[in-house]
Amino acid sequence: MRPNKNTGTLANVIKGSALLIAASLFSGTVQSEEIATDPGDYTPLPAGVNLAILYGQYATRDAAYAGGDKVLAKAGLDTTIGLARFVHYMEIGGIIVDPQIIIPFGKVELTEPFGPLQPTSESGVGDPIIGGTAWFLNNPDDQEWAGLSAFVSVPVGQYDEDKGPVNIGENRWKGIFQAAYVKHLSDSVVLDLIAEYSVYSDNDDFLGFKREQEDAQSLQGHLRYLLPKQSHLALSYYHSFGGETTVGNLKQDDRVNTNRWMATYATFIDPTVQLQLQAGQDIDVENGFKEDTRINFRVLKVF
């Protein structure tokens, strides 16, 4: 019996739609989260100071959500990400600015079959991020600062179009803008507030489709308690929202709405070397994988 061409075409459409819906659950998990700030990032240093920073970030996820409801299928997504960052402080027209570059690298691993996606992984160097901050308010006497940042993510990192969301690179440009305010509430308590806005170009080769994404936003807050010997404890809150995607002209209804907390301990083990350890997890997730564990480690060198 001759196969029915229409039936075959319909099956391909159904399979493709299922693949896109499964892939949409990765939104806000690996590639959509932008620059998560650390406590103290927006307190400027004097012109002429340089920072070399190395980050290690490990996160596990064993549940996924769609429309606020937990997906019944088994899920597993682990990420082991490193970041190499160089920052240079300088003064332009009386304003402190800090041009910098961030280079991500590491591994993304889908550990369980998820819809039509089979377990797979991708590792390598991601898309470098270039930009900086300008502090239009720099008042050390009143211990108050405010700055504006602009960054661009350049799509030259490792990317396999057949793996779609399981990638280190994104195969698209991103613009990331932040506004921050820092204020000492007392001699030992500091509040950092950051708002972020991100825009995206299209990914023209995402599982054989074009992937578009709406603008996304983020609110971040850090409450630091300063300890002796240049150490501090901090509690952080991150809220990401927006960024619905369209894949192959099909809206994914995957708007991000994620809340997360992090606890931080940082200390200088030497006048020029700081160590930082963080732990936290997602509080709730509307769409995408939910982090059950996140551990971050950072080494900072001042020179």
| pLDDT surpassing 70 at residue 8 | no
pTM for this predicted structure: 0.89
Round the average pLDDT of the chain to a whole number and report it: 88
3-state secondary structure the chain: CCCCHHHHHHHHHHHHHHHHHHHHCCCCCCCCCCCCCCCCCCCCCCCCCEEEEEEEEEEEEEEEEECCEECCCCCCEEEEEEEEEEEECEEECCEEECCEEEEEEEEEEECCCECCECCEEEEEECCCEEEEEEEEEEECCCCEEEEEEEEEECCCCCCCHHHCCCCCCCCCCEEEEEEEEEEECCCCEEEEEEEEEEEECCEEEECCEEEEECCEEEEEEEEEEEECCCEEEEEEEEEEEECCEEECCEECCCCEEEEEEEEEEEEEEECCEEEEEEEEEEEEECCEEEEEEEEEEEEEEEC
Residue ranges covered by each domain of the chain: 5-302
pLDDT digits (tens, 9 = 90+) for 276-295: 999 999 999 999 889 999 99
pLDDT band for 31, please (50, 70, 90 cuts).
low
pLDDT-wise least confident of 8-17, 131-140, 271-280: 8-17
pLDDT-wise least confident of 13-17, 170-174, 193-197: 13-17
| pLDDT surpassing 50 at residue 49 | yes
> Higher pLDDT residue, 26 or 295?
295
CATH no. for 5-302: 2.40.128.130
Residue 252: per-residue pLDDT: 86
> Higher pLDDT residue, 113 or 268?
268
